């Protein structure tokens, strides 16, 4: 299989950026990958290491600058601080908003049809500010959001049902963080309501939702970071964009009615995201409202208020 002729720039070549590059390289999503990092020596070493794997694909990988990145089809932002064990994603806001400001400034003038993918945390808040700072249409600035949580949830459910992950459609919605919730009412297994195929008590549902929500914390506690899951998720997003798959995925995007960015299912293709309606039960809607309120509180209560306004 050969890669499409496009290019993807990854800004932030740490554990996550390198894992994303590796996934894109193996999946041959585009012909050219550009890695950019403030730590140029480290970035060069990551490129050297990754280039030892390019014999498996037709992808070229190189170190670049913001000038190179601004002309890419997709620009991924994985630059920023990561959580220490026990720290919340929201706790990263002060450090990572500064990184985002500097990165988005360096990307100007940005290609008008570029898609900006935000991966750094807190991803929903940073997606909101990246929309403001980049000047791109909001549908072209997307956060990886709860797609990773949804993959984690699907894995648990598939295990219980002893079926493949791909037979299950189940979404985590809201914040990629503590206020997220599972949209149980819309979950299906091969088209059948999931709760019919797998009757779960309220307590069991709560346990599954908690395990899903806490998975990153339990990994970070031991190895200090997560990278492979979000890398696979980002590669899938890039494929959907480059090949205009119009895949329905739970991603962080602008919510006009809620005044913030959070995850609900959207259609993802070459032009970015477009809405896809989802039916939620009243209790799920309440959770979603609470999640939006939690995110708005961070935006309103922070001294990042003036960013890009």
Ligand X SMILES: NC(=O)C1=CN([C@@H]2O[C@H](COP(=O)(O)OP(=O)(O)OC[C@H]3O[C@@H](n4cnc5c(N)ncnc54)[C@H](O)[C@@H]3O)[C@@H](O)[C@H]2O)C=CC1
How would you classify residue 169: left for phi > 0, otherwise alpha for psi between -120 and 50, otherwise beta? beta
Q: Is residue 127 at the binding interface for ligand X, with CB under 6 A as the rule? A: no
Cβ neighbors of 250 (< 8 A, separation 6 or more) are: 145, 146, 147, 150, 171, 172, 173, 263, 264, 265, 266
Q: Is residue 92 at the binding interface for ligand CC(=O)C(=O)O, with CB under 6 A as the rule? A: no
Using CB under 6 A, pick the residue from 21, 93, 99, 114 that binds ligand X. 99
Residue 175 interface partner, choices ligand X, ligand CC(=O)C(=O)O, none, CB cut-off 5-8 Å depending on type: none
Is 120 marked as a binding-site residue?
A: yes
Of 105 and 190, the one with the shorter C-beta distance to ligand X is 105
Residue 99 interface partner, choices ligand CC(=O)C(=O)O, ligand X, none, CB cut-off 5-8 Å depending on type: ligand X
Using CA atoms, how far residue 236 sits from 27, 103, 229, 249, 266, in Å, is 9, 24, 11, 10, 14
Beta-carbon count within 10 A of 109 CB: 7
* 245 catalytic per annotation: no
The least CB distance from residue 196 to ligand X, in Å, is: 31
Whether residue 109 is preceded by a cis peptide bond, meaning omega within 30 degrees of 0, is yes
Of 133 and 151, the one with the shorter C-beta distance to ligand CC(=O)C(=O)O is 151
Is 14 marked as a binding-site residue?
A: yes
Q: At what angle do helices 228-242 and 15-27 cross, to 10 degrees?
A: 50
To the nearest 5 percent, what fractions of the chain are helix, strand and coil?
45, 20, 30
DSSP letter string, 215-260: HHHHHHHHHS---HHHHHHHHHHHHHHHTT--EEEEEEEEETTTTE
Q: Is residue 121 at the binding interface for ligand CC(=O)C(=O)O, with CB under 6 A as the rule? A: yes
For residues 24 and 8, is the Cβ–Cβ distance under 8 A? yes
Using CB under 6 A, pick the residue from 3, 9, 10, 11 that binds ligand X. 11
Of 211 and 283, the one with the shorter C-beta distance to ligand X is 211
**The one catalytic residue among 176, 190, 245, 253:** 176
Q: Per DSSP, which regions of the chain are E strands?
A: 4-11, 30-36, 60-63, 74-77, 115-118, 141-143, 168-169, 172-173, 181-182, 188-189, 192-193, 247-255, 260-269, 272-275
Of 133 and 230, the one with the shorter C-beta distance to ligand CC(=O)C(=O)O is 230
Q: Is residue 121 at the binding interface for ligand X, with CB under 6 A as the rule? A: yes
Q: Is residue 136 at the binding interface for ligand CC(=O)C(=O)O, with CB under 6 A as the rule? A: no
Site string for ligand X, 49-88 (x = CB under 6 A): -----------------------------xxxxxx-----
Q: Which of 272, 299, 298, 275 is nearest to 117 (CA)?
A: 272
The residues in 243-302 that bind ligand X, with binding defined as CB under 6 A, are: none
Q: Is residue 216 at the binding interface for ligand CC(=O)C(=O)O, with CB under 6 A as the rule? A: yes
Give the pair of three-digit tokens for residue 20: 């994303």
The residues in 224-283 that bind ligand CC(=O)C(=O)O, with binding defined as CB under 6 A, are: 226, 230
Residue nearest to ligand X (CB): 14
Count Cβ atoms within 10 A of the Cβ of residue 130 and give its class: 0-12 exposed, 13-18 middle, 19 or more buried.
Answer: buried
Q: Which residues bind ligand X (CB under 6 A)?
A: 11-17, 37-39, 42, 78-83, 92, 96, 99, 102-103, 119-121, 123, 144, 148, 176, 225-227, 230
Q: Which residues bind ligand CC(=O)C(=O)O (CB under 6 A)?
A: 89, 121, 148, 216, 226, 230
- Active centre residues (catalytic): 176
């Amino acid at each position: 299989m050969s890669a499409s002729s496009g290019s993807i720039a990854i800004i932030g070549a740490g554990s996550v950026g390198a894992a994303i590059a590796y996934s894109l390289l193996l999946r041959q999503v585009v012909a050219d990958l550009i890695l950019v990092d403030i730590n140029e020596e480290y970035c060069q070493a990551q490129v050297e290491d990754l280039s030892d794997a390019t014999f498996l694909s037709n992808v070229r990988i190189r170190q670049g600058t913001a000038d190179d990145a601004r002309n890419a089809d997709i620009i991924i932002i994985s630059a920023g601080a990561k959580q220490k064990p026990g720290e919340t994603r929201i706790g990263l806001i002060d450090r990572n908003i500064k990184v985002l400001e500097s990165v988005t400034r360096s990307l100007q003038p940005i290609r008008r049809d570029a898609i900006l993918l935000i991966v750094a945390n807190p991803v929903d808040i940073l997606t909101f500010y990246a929309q403001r700072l980049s000047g791109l249409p909001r549908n072209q600035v997307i956060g990886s959001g709860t797609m990773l949580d949804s993959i984690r949830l699907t894995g648990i459910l598939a295990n219980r049902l002893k079926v493949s992950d791909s037979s299950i459609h189940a979404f985590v919605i809201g914040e990629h963080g503590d206020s997220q919730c599972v949209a149980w009412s819309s979950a299906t297994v091969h088209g059948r309501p999931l709760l019919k195929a797998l009757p779960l008590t309220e307590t069991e549902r709560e346990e599954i939702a908690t395990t899903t929500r806490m998975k990153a914390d339990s990994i970070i506690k031991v190895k200090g970071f997560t990278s492979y899951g979000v890398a696979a998720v980002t590669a899938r997003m890039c494929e959907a964009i480059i090949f205009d798959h119009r895949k329905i995925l739970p991603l962080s995007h602008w919510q006009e009615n809620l005044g913030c960015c959070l995850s609900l299912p959207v259609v993802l293709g070459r032009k970015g995201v477009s809405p896809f309606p989802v039916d939620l039960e009243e209790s799920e809607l309440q959770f979603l409202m609470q999640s939006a309120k939690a995110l708005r509180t961070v935006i309103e209560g922070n001294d990042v208020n003036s960013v890009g306004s």
